[in-house]
Amino acid sequence: PRKIVIDTDPGIDDAIGILLALASPEFSIAGVTTVAGNIGIETTTRNAGRLLAFAGREDIPVFKGAAAPLLRPGPEPLNLHGKDGIGGVGLPAPARQPESRSAVEWLGALLLKEPAGTVDIFALGPLTNIARLVLDNPDAAKRIGRIIAMGGVIYEAGNVGPRSEFNLWADPEAADVVVSSGLPLVLVPLDVTRRVRATREFTATLSASGKPLASMVADLIESYFETSTHQESRPLHDPCVMLFALAPDLFRLEDLRLKVSTGSTEQAGALTVDESGTPVQVATGVDGSSALDLLARTLASF
């Protein structure tokens, strides 16, 4: 299996992505690093521990990361993910505490210990931790296999600004550091994640499997419906990172040169395709129904 680190702000869709990774024998999860985003750092860290406890995988360590963006106060928690950030679903309390080392320190040590190019980072939240690694420990950052990040939007409207997606908007300076670092990066933007949508029917199929992870994901999606006026279907943003890693052939990839808008304007976190930008691989299309099938099949196998 491929060694991965999940950097995350759970988050309902983060939680679904984490459960998908736990159900996938293709991945060996070295650790989960947390970041403030959907909700504050204490809650995202606890939620990561709750998910691992639920799956019986508390052998996987959790490392607390950035409490706020690189240069600005943290965003107000979104109300999209419920009070506890994860839809109030029935997850156990973690038995294992988060580790005492910080996320960035541990990640740096891991990358220096493992052979270069063998650890991938799945980034599901604001890019603060990864930017810190690039800035503070560039020798370690250079050894990342690749970063697959849910974030941004290329051809469509944003979800928090006219052209801005939440993860890049929440810490645009960090996004700029990561994108312009030139590290191997696959971006999975809203253009794709909006096309991998859970319907009520999909949710019912998951519960009907009777399998624990699939049923938990059904509960998470149900709670995701409760926080929205959109009752037809809900987009599964973060799991698209895992789905891309599992089945790249389901996605269309474009090589684009990208720039990230920084600062405190309404364009913060917006991406522009520009000759002078940094080359990034961007997923711009997906076979949504095959992606959903893969998600359901993998969850039901656990």
Q: Which residues are catalytic?
A: 237
150 binds ligand BDR (CB under 6 A): yes
Residue 176 contact partner, candidates Ca ion, ligand BDR, none, CB within 5 to 8 A by sort of partner = none
d(CA 108, CA 198): 36
Q: Which stretch binds ligand BDR (CB under 6 A): 39-47, 102-110, 159-167, 279-287?
A: 159-167
Closest distance of CB 36 from Ca ion, Å? 11
198: phi then psi, degrees, rounded to nearest 5: -90, 125
Q: Are 81 and 12 in contact (CB under 8 A)?
A: yes
128 binds ligand BDR (CB under 6 A): no
Q: Are 29 and 60 in contact (CB under 8 A)?
A: yes
Question: CA torsion angle for 151, 62, 45, 211 (degrees, to 10)?
Answer: 80
Determine which residue in the list 6, 11, 87, 295 makes contact with ligand BDR, applying CB under 6 A.
11
**Locus of tokens 């994108």:** 179
Residue 78 contact partner, candidates Ca ion, ligand BDR, none, CB within 5 to 8 A by sort of partner = ligand BDR
d(CA 214, CA 21): 12
d(CA 96, CA 218): 26
Q: Is 266 helix (H, G, I), strand (E, B) or coil?
A: coil
H/E run at residue 35: none
Closest distance of CB 235 from Ca ion, Å? 12
Contact characters 31-60, ligand BDR, x per CB under 6 A: -------x----------------------
Total chain residues near Ca ion (CB under 5 A):
6
Determine which residue in the list 5, 7, 13, 54 makes contact with ligand BDR, applying CB under 6 A.
13
Residue 85 contact partner, candidates ligand BDR, Ca ion, none, CB within 5 to 8 A by sort of partner = none
Specify the residue, 140 or 295, whose C-beta has the smaller distance to Ca ion.
295
Determine which residue in the list 16, 66, 104, 124 makes contact with Ca ion, applying CB under 5 A.
124
Determine which residue in the list 159, 180, 199, 205 makes contact with ligand BDR, applying CB under 6 A.
159
Question: CA torsion angle for 88, 91, 96, 97 (degrees, to 10)?
Answer: 0
Specify the residue, 170 or 300, whose C-beta has the smaller distance to ligand BDR.
170
165 binds ligand BDR (CB under 6 A): yes
Determine which residue in the list 4, 6, 7, 14 makes contact with ligand BDR, applying CB under 6 A.
14
Q: Are 258 and 274 in contact (CB under 8 A)?
A: yes
Closest C-alpha to 186, from 151, 159, 157, 155:
151
Question: Which phi-psi region, left, alpha or beta, contains residue 87 (left: φ > 0; alpha: ψ -120 to 50)?
Answer: left
d(CA 275, CA 282): 15
Closest distance of CB 177 from ligand BDR, Å? 18
Q: Which stretch binds Ca ion (CB under 5 A): 6-14, 131-139, 183-191, 241-249?
A: 6-14
Contact characters 236-255, Ca ion, x per CB under 5 A: --x-----------------
Distances (CA, A) of 157 to 17, 116, 175, 201, 297: 24, 37, 18, 27, 31
Closest distance of CB 122 from ligand BDR, Å? 11
Q: Which residues are at the interface with Ca ion (CB under 5 A)?
A: 9, 11, 14, 124-125, 238
Q: Which residues are at the interface with ligand BDR (CB under 6 A)?
A: 11, 13-14, 38, 78, 124-125, 150, 159, 165-167, 237-238
